[in-house]
Structure 1
Amino acid sequence: MDDRTRKVIYRITYPNGKIYIGKDLTDSINYFGSAESKHIAKDFSKAERNDFTIRKEIIFESDDTKEINAIESKLILEHRSNNPEIGYNQWPKFSE
């Protein structure tokens, strides 16, 4: 394995089927994004929050930070994760 840190774009899928797309420039196995907690919390009851499983999938990887930055917004739009009915991304702003 070389010394370069793998940079990734991931998709988080929540139990309600909604998604969040983000990037991680450090390839941390423990990083699950920076989605706005208040938007996620309103979708789950207290009981549902007691046993909560999410899925993290790497959907793109590169050694190039500029490429990751460019592709992240493209994938958010492609997956429509900025549509509040589909996902939790707040940017780019959703418009129908």
Structure 2
Amino acid sequence: MKVIYKITYPNGKIYIGSDRTDSRLTYFGSPSKEVLERDFDRVDLQDFWVRKQILWQSETATTSEVLRWENELIIEHGANDPGRGYNRRPAWRQSD
């Protein structure tokens, strides 16, 4: 099963990623460590939780279809907006 998931951090920011290996129980994506460390200190980490939600799934989608959906959902949810999320691609473009 291929899935696209949303991780929500304690500060409300999100990260959207895909899992194409069906390891949905243990895989939590790869947001930038440096960016996360700016938002959380040692005190925050004393009681730290994340929420993982499956936004989309398919047993038959190709890798290119999964990546296309992932990009669309990143944009739709604003996960690439540095004020709302941790995705850095696609690049955030503020609307006029």
TM-score for the superposition, normalised by structure 2:
0.91
> Are residues 1:54 and 2:41 paired?
no
SS at match of 1:38: helix
SS at match of 1:57: strand
- How far apart are the structure 2 equivalents of 1:27 and 1:43? 29
CA shift at 1:61, angstroms? 0.4
> Are residues 1:20 and 2:48 paired?
no
Spell out structure 1 runs of 4+ moving beyond 2 A: none
CA shift at 1:45, angstroms? 2.1
Which stretches in structure 1 are left out of the alignment for 5+ residues? 1-5
Which stretches in structure 2 are left out of the alignment for 5+ residues? none
SS at match of 2:16: strand
Query: Identity of counterpart residues, as a percentage?
Result: 48
Query: Cα RMSD between the aligned structures?
Result: 0.8
CA shift at 1:66, angstroms? 2.6
